[in-house]
Structure 1
Amino acid sequence: MTTKRWRRIEELFLAAGELPRAEQENYVRGATASDPEMQRQLLAMLKHAGSAPDRIARAIESVAEAVVPVDSWHGRRFGPYRIVREIGRGGMGLVFEASRDDDEYFKRVALKVAPDWRDIASLRERFRHERQILAQLEHHNIARFLDGGTQNGIPYFAMEYVEGVPITGYCAALPIRDRLELFCQVCAAVHYAHQSLVVHRDLKPANILVNEEGVPKLLDFGIAKLLTPDLDSGSTMTGMMLWTPDYASPEQVRGRPVTTRTDVYSLGLILYELLSGKRAQQADTSSALALDRSICESEPPAAGLDRDLESIVRMAIRKEPEKRYGSAADLGADLRRYLERKPVRARAGNWAYKAGKSVRRHRFGVAAGALVAASLIAGVISTIHQARRAERRFEQVRKLANTFVFDVHDSVAFLPGSTAARKIIVQTALTYLENLRDDAAGDAALERELAAAYERIGNVQGAPASSNLGDSKGALASYQRAEGLLTPLVQVGDRAARRQLASVDSRLGTLHMAMGETKPALESYGRAQSLLRGLLEESPRDRVLLDLSGENYSETTRALFTLGDFRAAGEAARASMELARRLSQMNPSDPVNRNRLSVAFSNMGRAQLGEGKIEEAAKSFGEAVKLRESLSRDEPNNKEYRRFLMVGYGSLGDVLGGRPDENLGDVAGAAAAYEKAVQIAESLAASDSVDRKAQFDLSSAYQRFASLLVNDPKTAKQALEGLEKARRINRALQVQDPDNYRYRFSALVIDREAGEALDNMGRSREAVERLEAARAVAQALISGPNGSAAKYERQVIELRLARIRARTKHGLTDSPC
């Protein structure tokens, strides 16, 4: 089977899985009418998947009954420790938060308890083995062993309680340099363990937590191996995969000797993930052969790093242990060399590379030496001539790249249908600039140009407020690369880098909001505003800075409104309005200033809504619409102005009659505004088929209009038609970007409103199916970044379901309400 064919099967399978079971078969048959073999495979997969939840539940229940006592662990004592709650479990034991509450003192600890498997002596012995290992390790970056013992025949031990997040999550928003500094601490901890003759054998992000102080802590030595034969037999329990496949080494998979280089391999995989945001290794556990091939033969794709860093990662994850770094300390040392711009060991043997690095670090000394040598070497004139030619070539390529990034890209950015072209333009420029990077280490201007290219790539990939390709993770990685390039320059006082970093931080905030991550969003907005405040003190009439500051305050308003902090949202909205008015006074006819003023009015309206000032909010939204209608008339081909107008009509419709319990009661006015929003959204989506933002806007416009009609039995059918259109678009978006929180939450709202429409049409059975599907999505999202909204949706759904069931006590009937 070809990769293309498999991807098509996977796409159809995921799309069918989003449908109620009754609709799945018809969907597959329609989508594969011309391919009977694919149809057969998909129907078989759906049939098997349909029974999976029950089979999995039965398996888990039977295993749980066999290995874990039925009674609750809460409150049980082990020595002086009383269990508070469970925080993790695995094959080597259960981990609880516990407190020492005897007469000696009170202390919060992590308590690991051997499972009560009295008939598996080898597991209990391995638990004691872990306790023995931890007792001999004392390092700042390793969770400390505190105490141990046996209670009623069950061994346990207490260790330092680490309240933190996995290193990959902690590093997601950090610049590259900071990630590497943190990772070097992990290398030091692993090396310390190796010096203590301990190999961890299960290094992975979940076993490296970073606490609130930013200190990484190494955890879980449950399957560690002692390198002294008298203390560790080196055996592994037959038939049990104790390591984590995605972070396992080839020698672990093939049962070969485990050494310190095994941990180096796992560290390399973690480093790849820290720097690229993607897993280097995807283990296929469907069979032993598949597992062997996926780990021992498959090479991860390039991580998209510069050559030095890419070489370091590649050396750490070589399949042959003897070709890796000899120790975790060696890996950490090479990363230190990279941070200090010295030649790295991973690229050893290249004389020209080493010489180039040395010249860049000691350019003045080299230059002096070259002057002395000039009097002795007759061929120096030819060398200088070649160097000048190379320098001219360097500047020509650099100028070409910047023409692509700033001139060509910006000239097409707002044209309909330009999303794909923008990506090609910026990616081409980025390739040119990256090729120059090694030849210009320490060139601040080039670093800023690279950062600008990465920022524009991020915009094309997934900037939520503009046309994009729907690649949120890619956008996050690009913005973070830009941040990593600019932060060191800002630290040495580079003012131009401060301006750029403020823009990047603001865009990071907006992307975090789109991903449902409100707290990181506000942190990014705060960093941006801090930079802008300082810059505006130096240049109070700088229009670019005023505009960026106003935009940042606008986005902050949205984030605070989402959190329900309406007072702070109002303050941010007023700051945005003040800056917009200053810009407008400087040049009232400038369309950019007029657009910024419209955004300020819109955010003021949002803040007024939060404060319960509905009539004032309607006036603010009306002012925003007037400005945007004028802009769209003046520049009819500017899709950003048309999109802003679409958003304005939506907000105006909300306050006129669409927003539950917070509107002026003008349903006809709301319907007219929503209809105008739908017309613009349809036009924008049709003009650029690869623009995921336009597709999502269209789905939202359909859903918004439908929400106005859903509760009236006379218009419920029309509402359902609009919701089905929204559902189809949103489902396609989810297939392309399954981690996007906005798409998932939108699917929840669409299904909930569709259930309400079906109920109002008298189709109770279908209503219950759709509402239960929505409830399942709401339950899954409650633990996410916007859990309170998901919890509210679940409550609304459960209330509706209760009403339907109360009305149809003797079985569901399709009778009108």
Structure 2
Amino acid sequence: MSQTRLAVLLFTDIVGSTELKSKIGTAEYAKLLARHNELFETGLRECAGAEIVKHTGDGYFVTLPTASDAVRFALRLQTRMKLETWRPQPIATRVGIHIGEVQLMDMAGRADVLGLSADLAARIMSLATGGQILLTASAFNDARQFVNASPESLQGTPPLKWIAHGLYLFKGSDEPLDVFEVGIEGFSPLTRPSDSEKVKRVVSHDQEPTLGWRPAIGLAIPNRPGWNLDRKLGDGGFGEVWLGVHEKLKYERRVFKFCFDVDRLRSFKRELTLFRLLRDALGERDDIATLYEVQLNEPPFYLESEYTDGGNLLEWSERKSGIDKIPLPVRLELVAQIADAVAAAHSVGVLHKDIKPANILIHERDGKVQPRLADFGIGILSDRAQLQNRAITETGFTVLTHNDSSRTGTRMYSPPESLLNKPFTTQGDVYAVGILLYQMVIGDLRRPLAPGWEREVSDPILRDDISAMVEGDPARRVASALEVAQRIRTLDARRLDQKQRQESHARSHRRRTQVRLATAAAIVLCLISLALAYGFVRERRLKQDILAQKQEADRQRTLAQSRFDDVRKLANTFLFDVHDQIQNLAGATPARQLLVQTGLDYLEKLQAQAGNEPGLLLEIARGYLRIGDVQGGTYSANLGDTKAALASYQRALAILDALHGADPQDINSAHFRLVALASVGDVLMASGDTKGALERYLRVIDLCQKLIESDPSDVTARNAQAVGHYHIGRNQIQTGDFRGALESHRKQQQLFQSLADADPGNVAFQHNLASSHNALGDTLDTIGDKNGALANYRAALGIAERFARADPTNATNQTGMAIALQRVGEMLAALGDLNGARDNYRQFLAIVQTVADADPSDGNAQHRLSASLATVGYFYEQNHEYETALAHYRGALVIAEKIAEANPTNTELQLHLAQCHSRVGDMARVRGDM
């Protein structure tokens, strides 16, 4: 009987046993052999699942469950053999380990093994010297991920060492075999096996530097004091990627990318050059991974880059139970941010060529999920002048060929033109982002793009976008990665536009139908008139009937006008008077819901009957603006429905545009038109459509300037102009234009200051002045001027305190003061005044808690409380007050789970929830709870 199985094979043999027998005699040797066998079999019994297949007299052939079991056993055996007192002559054993398939047979009642794998295990063992453990690649690579300590019997626990010796060609074999060794530093041989008549080492001179030391769990990283290897993250043709952990600062982790291939060492140098160019040209970016350290002048060669707690996109999604469990808006925003990073790289001539989930790191902090593009190892540079202009040495590019340019990374993400060996262009990266977008939309990061993929994407706009990105002809593909990001972020606006076009088409169809019906009705009336002509004798009675009908129609018209006026008056009172009384009232969310539901009904009835009356149309437009504020406006308590708010604002803007066209001199409609434009811009900005928002804000500035030129005393236009500069500054910050943002925010601060100085009693001007100080402070903080930021934050706090004390029940005033306290606290912490920061944070959190408790159904207030708890928790974490930090993070998580469940499509809430989970997990690990 025989059976075949995959097994971990371990061969041992006593070195020089024949000569030893001759030297000390058979009897003495038998005693040594018995002790050797006792040590061997005792050790083997300590390893569950180990099995002796064959005892060869001077050695053993055994199978073990795993490669790590085999290495641990071999290390214990060699240690015990070395520590044993052997008399009259010391003996030593050698070990060979291999993983492979063998056939176990019963040969006349005696167990035996057959197969090439058994031969390889025996050959690798024969290369070893006494006390040495040699392995083939599969066993070596498996074991070093799990074996991290020397046997307990050694004092001082000397470290293990894992070594690659290179290729050896055995006599009678066509293919050389990679040989590796594991041993204890200062105890094991750890020497290269010698050549013999039966085996020769076949390693070229230029391959020597890439051999020797190999990474393994628990090892110290050469030339990086304090850094140890934690686990293997992956491998490739170049070598391996490992996670390093600082031995003292356990939360400090880095990625170490080791190169063991002399040909791929050029790609390491190329990646270093590209990282230097990106950092020099673009500065530090949150969406591109950071390179910290390199060692390319001596082995082991490695690049050291940042590690994110989320791991790569695949790992992060698996921890979230699959990418399909992440809300679609969150997935889409992640792709948009990756497209931003790709566009930034393209702007300085860097092409990535290997965009895929494994090369996208996920960083979670403060309620946000930030993807970071990593691994530019096979990237290329399309514009060498970028290096020359910055005096960066062209390391790794000296042998770049046409084939290098066309070669790409993972096949699933490679563009079709790469199969034709055409040069790689920016369109190749766009293609890869298109594949990633497809996978994110369908919720499967391992699904390739195959014929019929369109059936899996139900959204027609997304389907068209993906199709344009993966177009086979690069010339017809989406023009740039920047356009990809813009398309994703304008999805909602494009869906709304498509819906409006469809509705317009439907209305046109209805009008055509009505015309046809009216024509038919006219024909019928003509026929009736002809028939009546023949009934001249009944003329008097008909005149009487017509007179009666006219009188009834007049009566109905009068009654209808009276009802219309009643509805108009009720709508005006309900939308403006009631809203103003509940706007800042805590606990008013149910009232807001009723206001929206009833108010929309009133407005639709009014608009249907308003005709072309300008005064009434203006009131309707104002009503839609108020409804939009309550649905999802960005400056007061609301219901959080930004889509509905955008629709209401746009309906108001359409009415106001029509009024302005009919009477350009009407100042009232002009002022409300500014409000409507800014409101649309605010909602687009909050939804991530920075381009659409910027277009509206620029229109506001342009319209304000025209109004001010016409009437320099127009305070409303001057205020709106300042607000416009404020929003443009926010937009510039989001797009990375910090200098432009600083100029915009300084301009808006000066404008608001002049308005507040001219009318100190104007509450709105004072609020705007405080906001302008905050905006300017934020921008100064972003560019590194923290003292300037603190001065502006304190100015804003002074204004906020006056309003909060004057009206303690006003939720908006209280929230404004809380935000001001938070900013001051953050800046004090950044400047090292921890006691001052802690005091500000406590006051800030107390106010936010009070406002949220007053109205548990206010989604904005609850979100603000959760985010505030997380912010304060992060402050305590940074100051190593982990217990207090964990308590705050847990409080934030409880609230975040509730509000995220109630708003599954809100991207910001879902990102905040993910961050809360991450921070609670991190703190629990720091405390040892997990």
The TM-score, its normalising length taken from structure 2, stands at: 0.45
Structure-2 residue corresponding to 1:398: 568
1:275-674 pair list within 5 angstroms: 332=505, 335-336=507-508, 342=511, 345=514, 378-379=547-548, 380-494=550-664, 495=666, 496-657=668-829, 663-674=830-841
Structure-2 residue corresponding to 1:740: 906
Partner Cα separation in structure 2 for residue 604 and residue 459 of structure 1: 25
Q: 1:346 to 1:432 in 2, by over 3 A?
A: farther
Structure 1 residues 667-676 or 413-422, which shifts more?
A: 413-422
Partner Cα separation in structure 1 for residue 807 and residue 706 of structure 2: 35
Partner Cα separation in structure 1 for residue 783 and residue 413 of structure 2: 49
Report the CA distance between 1:484 and its aligned residue: 3.5
CA deviation map 1:152-196 (0-9, x unaligned): xxxx999955668899986844898x7578x4xxxxxxxxxxxxx
Q: 1:487 to 1:618 in 2, by over 3 A?
A: same
Question: Equivalent pairs: percent with the same residue?
Answer: 26
Partner Cα separation in structure 2 for residue 460 and residue 388 of structure 1: 35
RMSD: 4.7
2:865 partner letter: L
Q: 1:598 to 1:728 in 2, by over 3 A?
A: same
1:736 partner letter: A
Report the CA distance between 1:79 and its aligned residue: 13
Q: 1:114 to 1:581 in 2, by over 3 A?
A: closer
Residue 928 (structure 2) pairs with residue 758 (structure 1): no
CA deviation map 1:78-98 (0-9, x unaligned): 899999649789xxxxx9xxx
Report the CA distance between 1:435 and its aligned residue: 1.4
Does the Cα contact within 8 Å between 2:722 and 2:747 map onto a contact in 1? yes
Unpaired runs of 5+ residues, structure 1, are: 1-48, 57-67, 90-94, 96-112, 117-122, 124-141, 144-155, 184-270, 272-308, 313-331, 356-372, 658-662, 767-817
Structure 1 residues 162-171 or 401-410, which shifts more?
A: 162-171
Partner Cα separation in structure 1 for residue 661 and residue 864 of structure 2: 39
Q: 1:55 to 1:718 in 2, by over 3 A?
A: closer
Partner Cα separation in structure 2 for residue 729 and residue 614 of structure 1: 32
The structure with the largest strand share of the pair is 2
Does the Cα contact within 8 Å between 2:825 and 2:838 map onto a contact in 1? yes
The structure with the largest helix share of the pair is 1
Residue 893 (structure 2) pairs with residue 731 (structure 1): no
Partner Cα separation in structure 1 for residue 551 and residue 587 of structure 2: 53
Which one has a bigger Cα radius of gyration?
A: 2
Specify the SS of the correspondent of 2:856.
coil
Unpaired runs of 5+ residues, structure 2, are: 1-317, 326-409, 433-437, 439-447, 453-463, 466-471, 525-541
Report the CA distance between 1:462 and its aligned residue: 1.9
CA deviation map 1:735-765 (0-9, x unaligned): 222332322333344344434433443x2x8
Partner Cα separation in structure 2 for residue 688 and residue 353 of structure 1: 60
Q: 1:346 to 1:720 in 2, by over 3 A?
A: farther
Structure-2 residue corresponding to 1:133: none
Partner Cα separation in structure 2 for residue 467 and residue 510 of structure 1: 15
Partner Cα separation in structure 1 for residue 765 and residue 324 of structure 2: 61
CA deviation map 1:679-736 (0-9, x unaligned): 11111111112211111111121111111110344x1111011011112222222222
1:378 partner letter: L
Q: State the number of aligned residues.
A: 478
Does the Cα contact within 8 Å between 2:489 and 2:688 map onto a contact in 1? no
Q: 1:348 to 1:665 in 2, by over 3 A?
A: farther
Q: 1:431 to 1:642 in 2, by over 3 A?
A: same
Q: 1:157 to 1:422 in 2, by over 3 A?
A: closer
1:682 partner letter: Q
* Aligned residue among 701, 705, 717 for 2:868: 701
2:844 partner letter: A
Structure-1 residue corresponding to 2:855: 688
Partner Cα separation in structure 2 for residue 406 and residue 53 of structure 1: 47
Specify the SS of the correspondent of 1:710.
helix
Specify the SS of the correspondent of 1:378.
helix
Q: 1:594 to 1:346 in 2, by over 3 A?
A: same
Structure-2 residue corresponding to 1:319: none
Residue 887 (structure 2) pairs with residue 717 (structure 1): no
Structure 1 residues 482-491 or 589-598, which shifts more?
A: 482-491
Does the Cα contact within 8 Å between 1:514 and 1:742 map onto a contact in 2? no
Does the Cα contact within 8 Å between 1:174 and 1:480 map onto a contact in 2? no
Does the Cα contact within 8 Å between 1:605 and 1:621 map onto a contact in 2? yes
Report the CA distance between 1:549 and its aligned residue: 3.3
Report the CA distance between 1:551 and its aligned residue: 3.1
2:907 partner letter: Y
Partner Cα separation in structure 2 for residue 619 and residue 381 of structure 1: 75
Partner Cα separation in structure 1 for residue 910 and residue 603 of structure 2: 37
Specify the SS of the correspondent of 1:665.
coil
Partner Cα separation in structure 1 for residue 700 and residue 844 of structure 2: 32
Report the CA distance between 1:588 and its aligned residue: 1.0
Report the CA distance between 1:452 and its aligned residue: 2.4
Report the CA distance between 1:470 and its aligned residue: 2.2
Report the CA distance between 1:398 and its aligned residue: 0.9
Q: 1:633 to 1:347 in 2, by over 3 A?
A: farther
Report the CA distance between 1:382 and its aligned residue: 4.4
1:671 partner letter: R
2:417 partner letter: G
Report the CA distance between 1:564 and its aligned residue: 3.2
Q: 1:437 to 1:671 in 2, by over 3 A?
A: same
Partner Cα separation in structure 1 for residue 657 and residue 824 of structure 2: 41
CA deviation map 1:306-356 (0-9, x unaligned): xxx5xx8xxxxxxxxxxxxxxxxxxx4x54467xxx56559968999999x
1:711 partner letter: Q
Does the Cα contact within 8 Å between 2:872 and 2:885 map onto a contact in 1? yes
1:196-275 pair list within 5 angstroms: 271=502
Does the Cα contact within 8 Å between 2:700 and 2:720 map onto a contact in 1? no
Partner Cα separation in structure 2 for residue 437 and residue 619 of structure 1: 49
Partner Cα separation in structure 2 for residue 50 and residue 602 of structure 1: 38
